[in-house]
Structure 1
Amino acid sequence: MSQQFKELSRRRVLMASRMGTTVTIRPGDMLRIGCPVVPDHRGPVRWDYQNHTLKESTWTGPDLSPGQRLGPGQDQGLGPGLGLQYRILVGGRVLEVNTVQGRFSGHYRCQTPIHDNTQLLSAWIHVHAEEFAWSLGDWTACSASCGDRGTRTRRVRCVTPEGREVTPSMCHHLDRPVSSQLACNLHDCPPSWVASVWSKCSTSCGRGWRQRQVSCGQVESGGAVRTLAPSVCGRNTRPADRQECTCDNCPAWVTSPWGKCSGKCLGPTLTVQKRSVICRHFNGTTHPDCDPRERPVSVRNCSSELCDVHWRVGPWRACTAACGSGFQSRRVDCAHRRSGRTLADQHCTWHKRPATWQHCNATTCGSECKDTTHYCAVVKRLKLCPIDMYKQRCCESCLQEDGST
């Protein structure tokens, strides 16, 4: 009879054999054993475990994931502590065994009539459970080089029979040995400088100093510390016993969020928003020592949506002169930005008002005598031609006036 040793995968169905086969699996792996019949086999299949016939399972739950218990289908007739948890699937052709709870190693056999009930098929498989054990590893290095605090331990590992380390959960059902400690390096330490912990900073805000005690000592094998003269340890290697420190626990100005704009909409001095400004220590208490020169402002000008006004400017009109020195104007109104409604100019006086007129076409008109502005009739009627500026702009009209006189 041939035997074959295999490592079972988690989801594979392992077929029993008429010649018999042997497998080794680890606890927690999925164990599914198939009876070697054709897929359309409809005859009854009987499963035996350790020469005990297994009853038909009525459990129809979902497939188990590794580590999940089987429910119904537990044969308790195999003796105390030797119960087998299983279920029979695919019309009896597959036996699924729980390898997490109870016993599962042993001899499995399936039997079923074939060839129109003229022959009896019998196939078997023997399952070995992979064994694990707790093992003590090598001693660790000593935790101290001298004195009385040195210890070493041995790490506890879960291993296979071949000594391969596996996850500790594989040995959870076994009693874990206690890892004992062993004292080591029990001898006097060489003289050295011994420093205490640093004291608190001398100030809670800004720069200060902190100190510690530094002495020359020797730790003996019994744990006692013997004080020695500083010359024994060497003054050149003495650690500092005083150093500068800085603390940021200073009081600071703390501000609240800005409040809403309040007041009449008549300029920055009347429309303001406020916030609280408090000198507060880092622990939340108020403090009087904040620098007043760094105090944030608590009141500022604001412009709410209702008070949002601006100077609205229109387009420049045509220049009063085609050449020479003319001027042009435009309309400038105070208006509400959101609604566009025109307001009295006093509502915008806190904004600089844009110019309403400017010079334009400041160029010479050349030697040709002609009127360059449409006001020349008025200039002629008011007898302003003797004035050089009007005489230049209304050259043609003024020339006609001189000719008529």
Structure 2
Amino acid sequence: MTEILSQPEVPEFPGTRAARCPFDPPPNLHALQKEGPLAKVRLWDGSTPWMVTTYAEQRALLADPRVSAEFSRPGYPRQGPFTGSFASFIMMDDPEHHRLRRMVQAPFTVRRVEGMRPAVQKIVDDLIDDLLAGPKPVDLVEAFALPVPSLVICELLGVPYADHDFFQDNSKVMINRGTAPEVRAAASARLAEYLNALVGEKLANPAGDLLSRLAERVKTGELSQLEAAQMGVLLLIAGHETTANMIALGTCALLQNPDQLALLRAGDDPDLVAGAVEELLRYLNITHSGRRRVALEDIEISGQTIRAGEGLIMPNDIGNRDPEIFPNPDELDISRDARRHVAFGFGVHQCLGQPLARMELQVAYSTLYKRIPTLRLAADLEQIPFKHDGAVYGVYELPVTW
């Protein structure tokens, strides 16, 4: 009689967070990390790419030129069915990735971003003035977390903030994991059409904003108008969704860790605030679908061979909880040196807008809790609607009072 050997079950990705631990990665990621740096996972389409669970291996592979970010390559582990023609430079390899990225990187340098700090401080103060003058409880997402980065990115790009409902609504559709492909494609098309019209306006009447710079590239023939519009879509979505979610989710986490909130509120040292931002970025990880790549060649790493054409997923949420790098990684500790986190990725595709995000978070966190020292949740944590279905993690609403 032939014995049938059972095969180990391949876990599905993404997994489900524990209901009582909404700030932590799904428990199965911790379990896989303990077993070793690489494991196979199963995606929506039945494919089984490699998942990389440890910090050192994630950084090594993200910096490896034998690993591609091109989503059109066979074996690339897509997040869902792709419908439409939208593609951004973050899903391209060099040299095309570098050519396009350098066209938009100047406004995001540390020096340029620091020059924006007083304007961001005024935005934050004005919104807190409105909070204090208005009714309570209030949804902090709608009244503060979302307007702060939206106002900033609109000013930087040259997008009218009056249109924020339009681009925020379509952004939400695009980044929801449960959105049907055709619905996502329609939202993408609406945003591309909107940005295409704005680029057209900048061609006729240039200003000092980033869309005007892209329009100049159109004039010189370096970009088509559609390519400029698609770059605008990427920057507009990334510029408000990620930071908005970090402001709200970070506030929620700090309210659940009152000792850490008290430490942040009492400190006047900019280095303490900057350190708190880095620790919250490490601890929370709003980009929770993993950075996705495909191997171009066979790669030997940690005693395992990744074959050419095999997909790779590197979830930064579990990479940032690697106990070999961050002792007691499941604890929020704003005095920790967390600057080595991979929340912004690593290698040539490291997040372009990270200096801006850091500065916005520093201003928001350092101001909100001091000006409203009795800030507290107006609902139990179990009642907060977390974005388990979003490609960007956070909360849909955060009711607060004081």
TM-score range, shorter chain: under 0.3
How high is the TM-score relative to the length of structure 2?
A: 0.17
Question: TM-score by structure 1 length?
Answer: 0.17
Structure with the higher fraction of residues in helix conformation: 2
- Higher-RCO chain (CA-CA 8 Å, sequence separation at least 6): 2
| Larger of the two Rg values belongs to structure | 1
Structure having the higher strand fraction is 1
